[in-house]
Structure 1
């Protein structure tokens, strides 16, 4: 499924957090959104599943504007994995993953044998098969993140939106997740912080700064030392070959770390005594 974001502006609380952003994601392509905190990545993603209505511009799926689709149609087209999984689930892992099948059911429809097969496959891909009977609220942050991935996979939507998917995951599971997503054959748009993950797993990257798209293209072309210094305020050594660069970052020369907050230090001390 082809995704088009056409000249989209998003305002939250009266302030424009995304400004005239445009990008196109072709069917089966993996595109990473990158930028510093507050650059508008998550707000732009939220227009894709109608959690936010753009002030202007259009979002299209295969040429049809998303604002004209029903909620069920959107859910059948776009699956979402958020950066902070809910912690108040009163459901087991398997029951939570089964929620991904809801858009394909009529109201109060029963889970079918096909649903259970799809859920089992999704749980296997996310490496949570052994957690099926556990309550989601008892899991670690990384385990919950993998449950949310399985639920998104079980939804079987042609577009997959990932908002900081590697949040809470250790290095091994970060790469496992991105490799799984890479091999799905679906249209994927992922907000990422890690330039190395984006370089390895994304076909293209789009860099935002202050709500605007400032660069787009193949990772090896976009991630130059000048762009990284300007957008992310860090110096970088670019290693590896031209097609698969690896980045090592360090603080810009002349930037002095902020002095510690005295109250924060007091709280840390108190916490250490209590523990």
Structure 2
């Protein structure tokens, strides 16, 4: 089994197309340990498709995605799944077990026995349930959860995976304000521990608070990326979202709201 240390996810000359739409053209970027990237762009611009490409779930038109200088396709899938965590917007099918069993699926790539999960696996799942305030729901059938509770369970499952790099597609969807803040605190702690993260966001305030880099995907297929402090300006965001914005300053933080 190949070991990953100081995992680096890279895209080189990456061109991604879906349904005839250009998502990005010859994109070069590197996501390093301890970095948090925010992906911004209008609905339908291809943010999800780009994340799926970086996870090896969508084939690029040209270019390559690599982990530690080795193409994703050349990694054993199980080994890759032990180190690269992916949170998708939606999942196919339905899960009929309880919440704890759903969260335990995050340990599947690490499972050493065909006969179930280890005591350590169970402990990691319990820890993730606690982080997402789901302990009291652990024995409840997963299919009875609300949308927000399912989203927190999905985050708990990703935490249980104990990956080194996380690709998170709209991790705050369905969450109320309290649980948005709680989830971003969890992600910030992962960053502090040296994990690499990339997440699709719609609220630029969270990008300013939690991301040190941003990637902006424009409708014409070009991309802009760099330090968050440099790119999160009204000029760039108005060009990105194609609408006038108002910039407000509240207790030292900048807020951008649609100027309509």
Q: Is the 8 A contact 1:30 1:201 kept in 2?
A: yes
Partners of 2:212 and 2:229 within 8 A in 1 = no
- CA distance, structure 2, for counterparts of residue 36 and residue 246 of structure 1: 18
- 1:206 match: 215
Q: Deviations over 1:127-180 (max 9, x none)?
A: 111110111110000000000000000001101110011111111111111111
2:189: which partner in 1? 183
Instruction: Say whether residues 1:247 and 2:253 are aligned partners.
Output: no
CA distance in structure 2 between the aligned counterparts of 1:226 and 1:137, rounded to whole angstroms:
44
CA distance in 2, matches of 1:89, 1:193: 28
Partner of 1:92: 98
TM-score by length of 2: 0.90
- Offset at residue 242 of structure 1 (A): 11
| 1:69-148 superposed matches below 5 A | 69-84=75-90, 88-106=94-112, 108-148=114-154
Within 1, Cα distance between the matches of 2:255 and 2:21? 36
Q: Structure 1 residue 13: deviation in Å?
A: 3.4
**What is the root-mean-square deviation in Å for CA atoms of aligned residues?**
2.0
Whole-angstrom distance in 2 between the partners of 1:33 and 1:53: 19
Quick check: 1:220–1:242 contact (8 Å CA) kept in 2?
no
The structure number with the bigger radius of gyration is 1
Secondary structure of the structure 1 residue equivalent to 2:43: coil
Is the contact made by 1:199 and 1:219 (CA closer than 8 Å) also made in structure 2? yes
Residues 106, 218 of structure 1: alpha-carbon distance in 2 compared, 3 angstrom cutoff: same
39, 51, 61: which one aligns with 1:45: 51
Partner of residue 192, structure 1: 201
2 CA distance for matches of 1:229 and 1:210? 13
Confirm or deny: 8 A CA contact 1:21 1:212 kept in the other structure. no
1:19 Cα deviation (Å)?
A: 2.2
For structure 2, the 5+ residue unaligned runs are 1-6
For 1:189 and 1:177, locate their aligned partners in 2 and report how far apart those are by CA, in whole Å. Answer: 14
* 8 Å Cα contact 1:32-1:192 kept in structure 2: yes
Q: Match of 2:4?
A: none
- Where does 1:60-75 land on structure 2 (aligned, <5 Å)? 60-75=66-81
Deviation at 1:227, TM superposition (A): 1.5
- Cα pair 2:48 2:169 within 8 Å, conserved: yes
What is the CA-CA distance between 1:85 and the residue it aligns to?
A: 5.2
Q: Is the 8 A contact 2:11 2:66 kept in 1?
A: yes
Report what 1:255 is aligned to: none
TM-score if structure 1 supplies the norm length? 0.85
2:241 is aligned, of 232, 246, 251, to 232
